[in-house]
Structure 1
Amino acid sequence: MPLPTPATTVESPHKPRTRQYREDLNGLRGLAIALVVVFHVWFGKVSGGVDVFLVLSGYFFVGSLVRRAEAGGSLNPLPAFKRVFVRLFPPIAAVTFLTAAAALVLLPRTRWAGLADELTAVLGFFQNWQLALTSSDYLAADGSVSPLQHLWSMAVQGQFYLVAIAVVLVVASCVSRTRPELLRPTLTLVFGAFAVASYTYAAVMSGHDQAWNYYDSAARLWEPSVGALAALMLTRWNITRVRAWPLALKTALGIAGLASILLCGFFLDGAEQFPGPWTLVPTLAAIALIVSGAGNKTWTAQVLAHPVLSQLGSFAFALYLVHWPILVFALVVTGRPEAGFVGGTLIIAASLAVAYGLRMAVEVPIERDAPARRPILLASVVGAAVIVTGMFGWQAYVGSQSTGQRAADTLDIPTHPGALTLTDGVSIPEASMVPSIFDAPLDLPITTLDGCISDFQQIDIVTCTYGDVNADRAIALAGGSHSEHWITALDELGRSNGFRVDTYLKMGCPLVAGESPTVSDVPDCAPWSSAVLDRLAATTPDFVFTTASRPSPDGPGDVTPEAYVEVWHELEQSGIQVLAIRDTPWLHHDGVPYRAIDCLATATSADHCALPRADMLSDINPAWEAIAELSNVQLLDLSDGVCGPDLCRVTEGNVLVYHDSHHLTASYVRTLTPELGRQLGSATTWW
């Protein structure tokens, strides 16, 4: 989410106001931050306030640069860079330092390494790229979300400022002495080209890779560029012309803009649609308010200039910085998936209080060049240095505690029997848990390491072969990551029993028929599944191995979605047999997922991380009823190898069961191989 520009980026409301000062636009900034906070806290959505900030940042910042250049100011870029640093860095450094301190107290140590990476990325103004590379989703907050995730947009805005400084100063140096009247026209052409190219890129990428597109600076550049164009074109002469417009026209334009901004978050899904074409709604709405309020005060300009909105706009930057970590840490403490009305009200009140304190303690002394200005700047730099030093220190410690290898490759079954303690009654010797809490994220299926699974945005089918690659008998492993995590056992069984395993896998996408938004929210899941079913009908493997159930969305236990059953019907019509395996439990507390390693990092006993089996699995496999009219489906159920009679634990037989909140470690699946082999042999009659 883009940062609201600090109130003094162009002109401080505490300084004498000139006729260029727009109280209504300061109020628009206040309205935008109000929408951001309210939609985050109470609705778990991205609002149009995000894009209003980007437009205003381009409008104010480029307008300020151009006025300086026209007034004959220095063309040395260093003072401009310094002004940006002084305005942005101290508040950001203060919030990151306080967030890091709170994280040390409230978050398990298994989350510190990821947070350390984000701290460095925030302070280095490149967090948007760090999050894009890790495919983080910016949706509703809960206790498992990073308290710094919202600051990726600070990087986008900071990057735009640097580009704008370079562009304005280069153009100004070229034309100021010879043809100064060409400064605005030339800059209008440059920023217009930026806007067109960036908008086109964003529109294309929104249908190709939305997760990357959301964070990509290139896809966001058009929004502040549109604001820059407004600043370049709204000269005093043009404002005079705007004054001559009929008041009814300007009022209608302002009302349309204000209504669009207020309603945007209710009707558009910013996380899925921005910064693509639908972003024109809040962007053009902001431009409408900029233009309609120029010169004469329209009704909407008077509303936006209300003292409440204006005051809120004066510390919008601070409020943006603090509201998200306060929300996330509140959910960590309460353990709830959402704040609720009362809790949300308290979070908003706390955010307002902390933001006001941050503004008065950090921003105001810097703006007014108070005696405390230099100590504040020094403290921000020292605090940032402490954060970065601590990050490298912790990363070094984690590295010393990690083997850096996939534990499944070297697992010693006699000392680490894992699931065999449940399925075969093997005794548990004294040994440390494998993988460790620091090695767990590395204990992944070989298909992930080989790149043999389509990612969230990829619609192309990726196929690899495991097991006995030369065998005639074939099992097609198809579906999402919950099909994928069985590859460790299937690969071993294939090599020892003479069958190959052909994989058809896509992240977050179980094999479904038709549109199934309740099963998967991955946009390309349905077309990808359809293409896989066509491929399976053409290749006719002996069996298709896929999941048979998933957690119930309405309560305890698990269910078999109708979309799965439709797939089995289609495969039956193609003459293909199905091996449908019951899904493994997903770890969560009251709807909030938690990682096994996070729980183990703070729990006094591994049993404290366990969940009642009755909450995770229905008494009877729900797929039995679903296959009553099907003759081509054989059910596999390894629930007794994952859960005991009463509890589903996160560690069994000295082996960690989950590498996150719902995917089995490759090591644990290795220990499930004998039981899967028994059930698979019976179902296929191959051995």
Structure 2
Amino acid sequence: MVSKSAVAGSVGEGASSGVRGGGGFRPDIEGLRAVAIGLVLLYHAEVVELVPGGFVGVDVFFVISGFLITGLLIRELERSGRVSLGRFYARRAKRLLPATGVVLVVTAVLTWLSVSVVQWRVFGGDIVGAALYVVNWVLAGRSVDYLAEDVGVSPVQHFWSLAVEEQFYIVWPLLLVLVGWWVRRRTHARLRPVMAVAIGVVIVPSFVISLVWTASNPAVAFFVTPTRLWELGIGAFVAIGAPLWPRVPARVAWVLGWFGLVAVVVSAVVLTEQVAWPGYAALWPTVATALVIVAGFTSGRWGAASLLAWKPAVWVGGLSYSLYLWHWPLLVTATNLWGELGGKKGLLVAAASFVPAYLSYRLVENPLRFSKGLSGSNRLSLSLGGNFTLVGVVAGLVLVLAVPTSTTNPEQDQAAGAQALDGQEAQRDAGEGGADGGADGDATEAPPPGSVGSLADVEWFTPQPAEATASVPSAYDDDCQQNQESAEVVVCEYGDLESETVVVVVGDSKILQWQSAIEAIAEDEGWHVISMTKSACGFHAGMQVANGGPYTSCAEWNENVLAQILEIDPDAVLTSQRVTTALEDATNDETRSTQAMEDAITEQWSAVADADIPLIALLDNPSPGMQEYDAVYECVAENMDSLEECTFSRQEGYESSSAPLQQAAAERVSGVHIVDMTEHICPGETCVPVIGNILVYRQTSHLTDAYVRTLQRQLAEQLVPAVASANS
């Protein structure tokens, strides 16, 4: 699967004083770079009806970079028998890092101006990762982090491909130096054949890893270096064979060149985001690119190289690195400010990026790249690059440190929140008031529950919006939730491990969000609690959809976890879930329905009931729905003086949750006990973002751990009798 926001061309090398292939200027390669950046721009500008596979531009750039860098290094080895690593890295530093530093500073400013404060810390960290060229690993980790589901599109997400290249630039010269040393010690060894073998030893495993990871973990495979090295290696092989390619007959080269160029363009038109990438499908544009480069050695006047050498194409190719750096932050900023751009607005923003790209090319890149003072000193060039890297790091850290932090005591605030909730219930029982009061509050005296009026002091509630996503139970730190890739059942135990009363907690993050309260209840009641949860995977017998395809590991996990529950034979099973649809046909992604999920829940619960194991369903909490915001805490961050903007209908929240499905399934399975915490989460007809002095919601519809802890007594009032009746 390919995400638009994940794709950007890798254009870090070869646009300096002209692209050199076999040692001479290759304008056709500059033109090929123009094709690649053009495909990426169209794709990012959301002109997907023209180039749904425009992401192949990245792979074209990888091949070109592998060709250029390997050619440069191998010619130096042949000329002098050695590679000057200092000179190599100095050239990269003054070529790439100054422009990068400037763009990252501007990106940090644009991020500060255009996104909510709740995103600053994450995106500031991304900017630091981009400056250090490790952001591809940051993005890979986030792609499988369930707790990062609310994170928007990173303004430096396009740096993942540059990070791959920079890591390649570190490893590749060292490999070639090692090969050169080995060849010098053996008088009969020939450099290029030995080099080909050495590169093959690297890229063959890389291609195998790409196939395996793309099939098993595509979100990670897309970003990480091991799955991409083989693409750069294809370009390296072309560079090694440079002495052979001029011998290719002109007519053959003519056919290869046009075939390769057409194949690159067709791949962008035919391939879609649904293709698992990179994997074997990436052979299409990468091999096609290699054919174009090979043909350019000798294809003649009417070959594809003559078209690619067209002066406007060469000009765009020379600008491609700078253009690549600038276009994505501008597109992301425009989207943050104006919403989805669509093709026309996207093209306008992409076209506008030529202006800063050209200015930075003329005012930053070229003056430093061609500076005589820098050219004469590797140390000075490396120092310059290091300073610009430091500038990028500082820009990211400033954005991180700009996030406000709470100065209140979380434990005191949670206690105050619980006390306020008790007071609210007493008021309701006495008929003296509802949950829609409008008083202000502060950090020492909790305001009335459900207060949604103006706030004199933004620090009176906890957690602060920017810290909401970190308010999760300890189960996440303890790795108690299985990820989306594995079907193995992860078991965590708490409470009284010697107790005869055993309660199994099973499901997705919606049951795990209650862990702190359940654990406290278990300790008070002397229960032995066994937790078995999996990311985004409910306890049912159906097939969900995840990441655009069937969630097969969830189905396998459910089989495994049911077998373990039947073997344990607990006193009760406690479950909840978020997902509301399943596939009627497990092989067809278009057959999702709520009825299929209801049937799947019923089947799984029935299997538990048939084994005479009592089942307790903790109903899903109301799901927030706000058109302008992705999450409650983000709305709160943007509306501190008017929290009414962050309310939503209790009825609509109930209907958009999975609670109706759970209740419907409970009616079909004998003996299921319902635990409903809705009145404590949404006390009135309108759900409010803050109760007492506790922020209620974190990611999407999940509750903050801070608020869950205040509900221990209310949960115990329903859960303890349910477990007791199960044992009677």
TM range, smaller chain: 0.7 to 0.9
Amino acid at match of 2:554: C
The equivalent of 2:240 in structure 1 is: 232
The equivalent of 1:545 in structure 2 is: 574
Specify the SS of the correspondent of 1:451: coil
Structure 1 residue 104 corresponds to structure 2 residue 141: no
Structure 1 residue 25 corresponds to structure 2 residue 58: no
The equivalent of 2:101 in structure 1 is: 93
Single out whichever of 95-104 and 344-353 deviates more from structure 2: 344-353
Matches within 5 A, 1:208-247: 208-235=216-243, 237-243=244-250, 245=252
Aligned with residue 260 of structure 1, among 267, 284, 289: 267
Conserved 8 A contact 1:90-1:362 = yes
Aligned with residue 86 of structure 2, among 73, 78, 91: 78
Question: Residues 28-60 of structure 1, C-alpha deviation per residue, up to 9 Å, x if partnerless?
Answer: 222222222333342598822222211111011
Structure 1 residue 512 corresponds to structure 2 residue 519: no
Structure 1 residue 286 corresponds to structure 2 residue 289: yes
Specify the SS of the correspondent of 1:546: strand
Conserved 8 A contact 1:143-1:328 = no
Matches within 5 A, 1:8-87: 8-9=14-15, 11-12=17-18, 20-42=24-46, 47-72=55-80, 75-87=83-95
**Shift in alpha-carbon separation, 1:178–1:478, aligned structure 2, 3 A:** closer
Amino acid at match of 1:610: T
The equivalent of 1:669 in structure 2 is: 708
Structure 1 residue 169 corresponds to structure 2 residue 177: yes
Matches within 5 A, 1:192-591: 192-235=200-243, 237-243=244-250, 245=252, 248=255, 251-252=258-259, 254-265=261-272, 268-270=275-277, 274=278, 276-297=279-300, 300-301=304-305, 304-306=308-310, 309-334=313-338, 336=339, 338-369=340-371, 384-389=389-394, 407=410, 412-414=414-416, 416-417=418-419, 419-420=421-422, 425=427, 430-431=445-446, 432-437=460-465, 439-517=467-545, 524-547=553-576, 550=579, 562-574=596-608, 575=610, 576-587=613-624, 589-590=626-627
Question: Residues 378-432 of structure 1, C-alpha deviation per residue, up to 9 Å, x if partnerless?
Answer: 99765654454465567678698568x9x46x66524554654665548988242
With normalisation by structure 2, the TM-score equals 0.80
Question: Residues 269-316 of structure 1, C-alpha deviation per residue, up to 9 Å, x if partnerless?
Answer: 43xxx2x33332332232233334441156654554555544432222
**Shift in alpha-carbon separation, 1:162–1:5, aligned structure 2, 3 A:** same
Distance 1:142 1:667 in 2: 19
Distance 1:420 1:282 in 2: 64
The equivalent of 1:600 in structure 2 is: 637
Report the number of matched residues. 669
Q: Displacement, 1:195? A: 0.6
- Unaligned regions of 5+ residues in structure 2, if any? 1-6, 429-434, 436-440, 447-459, 583-592
**Shift in alpha-carbon separation, 1:135–1:240, aligned structure 2, 3 A:** same
**Shift in alpha-carbon separation, 1:644–1:600, aligned structure 2, 3 A:** farther
Conserved 8 A contact 1:156-1:217 = yes
Single out whichever of 114-123 and 443-452 deviates more from structure 2: 114-123
Distance 2:37 2:620 in 1: 42
The equivalent of 1:151 in structure 2 is: 159
Distance 1:202 1:242 in 2: 34
Conserved 8 A contact 2:253-2:296 = no
Question: Residues 56-101 of structure 1, C-alpha deviation per residue, up to 9 Å, x if partnerless?
Answer: 1101111122223333387321111111111111111111010112
Specify the SS of the correspondent of 2:18: coil
The equivalent of 1:5 in structure 2 is: 11
Conserved 8 A contact 2:30-2:314 = yes
Amino acid at match of 1:444: V
Conserved 8 A contact 1:143-1:332 = no
Distance 1:156 1:519 in 2: 24
Amino acid at match of 2:29: L
Amino acid at match of 2:640: A
Q: Displacement, 1:210? A: 4.1
Amino acid at match of 2:362: M
Specify the SS of the correspondent of 2:271: helix
Question: Residues 132-151 of structure 1, C-alpha deviation per residue, up to 9 Å, x if partnerless?
Answer: 4444689x999822211221
Distance 2:577 2:181 in 1: 67
Distance 2:333 2:297 in 1: 42
**Shift in alpha-carbon separation, 1:340–1:72, aligned structure 2, 3 A:** same
**Shift in alpha-carbon separation, 1:376–1:25, aligned structure 2, 3 A:** same
Q: Displacement, 1:187? A: 1.3
Q: Displacement, 1:441? A: 4.0
Distance 2:632 2:652 in 1: 17
Q: In angstroms, what is the RMSD of aligned CA positions?
A: 4.0
Distance 1:520 1:671 in 2: 37
Question: Residues 242-262 of structure 1, C-alpha deviation per residue, up to 9 Å, x if partnerless?
Answer: 536385566445544542344
Amino acid at match of 1:243: A
**Shift in alpha-carbon separation, 1:240–1:613, aligned structure 2, 3 A:** same
Conserved 8 A contact 2:9-2:40 = no
Q: Displacement, 1:461? A: 0.7
**Shift in alpha-carbon separation, 1:252–1:597, aligned structure 2, 3 A:** closer
Conserved 8 A contact 2:168-2:229 = yes
Structure 1 residue 616 corresponds to structure 2 residue 653: yes
Distance 1:468 1:142 in 2: 36
